[in-house]
Structure 1
Amino acid sequence: MILSARACRTRGNPSLAPPASRTAAGLPPAAGLIPGCRGGYRLFRRPAVGWRAMLGRRLCALFAAAASAVLAAPPGERWAPAYSQASILNLASGLPELAPNTLAVIYGQDLSPIAASRIEAAPNAAILPTTLPGTGVTVKVNGILAAIEYASPQAVVFIVPPEFVAGTVSVVLTRNGVNGPTVRVPLQDHAPGLLPLESTWALARDAQTLDWRHADSPAAPGDEIVLYGTGWGQTLRRAVNLQPASQRTELRAREAVSVYLDGAEAPRDHILYAGASPGTAAIYELRFRLPAWTPADPEIRIAINGRLSQEGLRLRVDPTRAQPAEARARSTQ
């Protein structure tokens, strides 16, 4: 899915309004599948195998379609990249809420001459690239080059450098020496977003079996699951710009993390881990045991210091599959 033909013909407006919906921006309502990421998009140092490959494919669904290359400025043209403050969003939540170490996306026009992804340029990079071959695209945040994960004519995915603190930063995208507008973007300490699997369903896997939770394999009360997201804030072992996380490290705000199922707060002692996902950049994971009262397919949200993730994302749960008490006890040993 890409922008409508009418939207594709509109150019030369640097004060782009925010997309009326994720569909209008080239994304389905929450994630959906978007072509253009061959083999699944990897955000990892080591080759994506097993659950990492699956996570990579789900992340790929959030990136813009390679077919949008028709929007690129022709060779030799000097059209400036067009975007606005309102078109810079959290990749997971789709909201204009960013924090340090967040996967962010800039939507606009003439952002890159071609579509390119890091999986093809540097799939196992120990140092993440600040530009992708053939794109000539860089993004600077307060003058610091950011890691680029994906670039296309209408969307560029980058990582907000983790060294920043809450406040206002300047963001500028440059394509082959031609600068777009410098826009001021607010950063929060925490801007939590949960990564979707598809449509309105959360990306989740079983912590024991590593199986992905979907319509044919739902979770059950008592299961331990792992959720993924971005924008969760600083960790005890500070993230370093352009470097994937080398190990698990808890959030600094670990004690201020809550999980809500259909609006009801789950017991905090059911949160077993909340922090960096090793081998990834700007991806966090939360390991969590579903309480016995978990309803069928609940809306799931997390909060960090009171800041909530996006609404409308649901978790595949079938209460009729609830584990016996002795099985739940074994799973936590």
Structure 2
Amino acid sequence: MSLNRLYLSCFVCLGGLLSLAALRAESLGAPEASAGAPGEEDCSACHGSNAGSGKVTLELEGGATSYTPGQKTRVKVTIDDSAARRWGFQATARPQANARTSAGAFATADAQTRILRSGVLEWITHTNAGTRRGTAGPVIFEFDWTAPSSDVGTVAFYVAANAANNDGSSSGDRIYKATVNLSAGAGGGARPAFTSQGVTNLNGVPGLAPNGWAVITGTDLASVERSASPVFGRALDTTLGGVQVKVNDVAAVLQSVSPARITFLVPPATPAGDVNVVVERDGSAGPPVVVRSSATLPAIYAVPRPDSDQQFASVISASTNLGLFFIGQRGWVLGKPDVDARASRGVAPGEEIVFYASGLGAVNGNPPAGNSFNESFPLATAPKVRFGQVTVDPVSAALVGPGLYAVRVKVPDSTGEGDVSFAIEAGGLSSSDKVFLNIQNP
């Protein structure tokens, strides 16, 4: 059966209307997500599921059953069916522990295959030339695969093949599938482990934002505890205690690492959508974890209340020229005294304060990436600050350090005494509703 006509029937099932140009484009290979990986389709979605006596096999060069991190190897997909006279396939490689991301990278070896990508996922499929119309089987597709740069555990190859009879009808095609598991090569020690819900902003909200501070909570993240000691004008650390965090293969600036927790700065060029986060420790990497990134993910610098999910903002009076993170003694910080020992009192209604935040989004100007700096860069779009049910505009809001925004705002005169919910809104998202500000009448 003609592959072009088969793809047409698939799109008609989806209710799409195809132009001739779109129809021809589909002959370049199977649609994305047609290799039979978990949660995805296979060729039968478009070509039916007729039984046949043939098969598809996927084999690594030399019959290898394991991979060496970073090593490139040739892969062969063989399709055999005595009745077939036109051929197609799609394959993908995924960490067995997380099928929502790809493992390694494909490369074409000739004009018979092409690569498809969508976010963090990758497939390899046939081209029009690769269908070899009128050719009897078996046929072989060859391509290269470079294993992940570090041990991600077992890698599963999923492949689906179409053995078409090329008779121009909608019947007679036969679909075959196979899964091949590759074990990781020898490696040492426990590997870092965490989940997507364990990657949060400073207030514990899952997700990432470019140039925002984030926290990973997990196990075996580091073998030691280390904190960065930044030097003005020098590049910030991307390795601490033998640990690196990579977001879509870009090394992130690290603030601190420990066996159970890492604080890092999301690379500024991180795109919106699903991204891969990998922790490498002493040369051993955990599997990539897919985390959702958005343009903003606001968080307020706050101190957790022991044995509670509440957090209390610690701020400074706008009348002081000191920065909160350089204040180590009691008397200058305003907040919740029984939560932050530096706080001398709560904030008064009508008082003008400065608080610090992260994940507020784009700024005007070009702050240096990966370095400390002492300039300020105003936010491109002003945020909103909420005290209880009252929302106000800040006096100013600017990036004043890597991933750190200073927001100056006047507390509404009508704010009642006690602990009030305290939030900042940027890019259509609000910071956590677990953050509070202690209000105290003078």
Q: Normalising by structure 1, report the TM-score.
A: 0.66
Q: 1:167 aligns with which of 273, 284, 287?
A: 273
- The whole-number CA distance in structure 1 between the counterparts of 2:285 and 2:197 is 18
Give matches, 1:232-247, under 5 Å: 232-247=360-375
- The whole-number CA distance in structure 1 between the counterparts of 2:389 and 2:207 is 21
Deviations 1:14-33 (A, max 9, x none): 78xxxxxxxxxxxxxxxxxx
CA contact (8 A) 1:162 1:234 kept: no
Q: 1:274 aligns with which of 390, 397, 417?
A: 397
Partner SS for 1:157: strand
Equivalent residue for 2:191? 80
Equivalent residue for 1:186? 292
Equivalent residue for 1:308? 430
CA contact (8 A) 1:162 1:240 kept: no
CA contact (8 A) 1:221 1:292 kept: yes
- Larger Rg computed on CA atoms: 2
Partner SS for 1:314: strand
Any gaps of 5 or more consecutive residues in structure 1? Answer: 1-13, 16-75, 322-333
Larger fraction in helix: 1
Is 1:206 the counterpart of 2:332? The answer is no
- The whole-number CA distance in structure 2 between the counterparts of 1:105 and 1:171 is 12
Q: 1:294 aligns with which of 412, 415, 420?
A: 415
Q: 1:223 aligns with which of 351, 355, 358?
A: 351
Deviations 1:263-301 (A, max 9, x none): 2223x2xx1111212xx3211111001121122132111
Partner SS for 2:436: coil
Equivalent residue for 1:100? 210
- The whole-number CA distance in structure 1 between the counterparts of 2:279 and 2:368 is 21
Equivalent residue for 2:125? none
Deviation at 1:102, TM superposition (A): 1.2
Give matches, 1:121-136, under 5 Å: 122=230, 124=232, 126-132=234-240, 135-136=241-242
Deviation at 1:96, TM superposition (A): 0.3
- The whole-number CA distance in structure 2 between the counterparts of 1:240 and 1:146 is 14
Deviation at 1:307, TM superposition (A): 0.7
Q: Which has the higher contact order (CA 8 A, sep 6+)?
A: 1
CA contact (8 A) 1:192 1:304 kept: yes
- The whole-number CA distance in structure 2 between the counterparts of 1:105 and 1:78 is 23
Any gaps of 5 or more consecutive residues in structure 2? Answer: 1-96, 99-186, 306-310, 323-331, 338-343
- The whole-number CA distance in structure 2 between the counterparts of 1:139 and 1:116 is 14
Equivalent residue for 2:379? 251
Q: Which stretch shifts more, 174-183 or 216-225?
A: 216-225
- The whole-number CA distance in structure 2 between the counterparts of 1:275 and 1:213 is 21
CA contact (8 A) 1:147 1:242 kept: yes
Aligned residues: CA RMSD: 2.0
Equivalent residue for 1:283? 404
- The whole-number CA distance in structure 2 between the counterparts of 1:137 and 1:274 is 33
Deviation at 1:181, TM superposition (A): 0.8
Deviation at 1:77, TM superposition (A): 4.3
User: How many residue pairs were aligned?
Assistant: 235
Deviation at 1:221, TM superposition (A): 2.0
Deviations 1:173-204 (A, max 9, x none): 11121111112211111100111135231121
CA contact (8 A) 2:232 2:373 kept: no
Deviation at 1:115, TM superposition (A): 0.7
CA contact (8 A) 2:386 2:422 kept: yes
- The whole-number CA distance in structure 2 between the counterparts of 1:96 and 1:118 is 24
- The whole-number CA distance in structure 2 between the counterparts of 1:185 and 1:239 is 25
Deviation at 1:246, TM superposition (A): 3.1
| Aligned-partner residue type, residue 79 of structure 1 | A
- The whole-number CA distance in structure 2 between the counterparts of 1:157 and 1:305 is 23
Deviation at 1:97, TM superposition (A): 2.7
Equivalent residue for 1:317? 439
- The whole-number CA distance in structure 1 between the counterparts of 2:231 and 2:304 is 24
Partner SS for 2:255: strand
Q: Normalising by structure 2, report the TM-score.
A: 0.50
Deviation at 1:124, TM superposition (A): 4.5
Deviations 1:190-249 (A, max 9, x none): 100111135231121101035311344222222110111111111112344312243111
| Aligned-partner residue type, residue 409 of structure 2 | F
Is 1:264 the counterpart of 2:405? The answer is no
| Aligned-partner residue type, residue 255 of structure 2 | E
Distance change in 2, residues 1:165/1:82 (3 Å): closer
Deviation at 1:82, TM superposition (A): 1.2
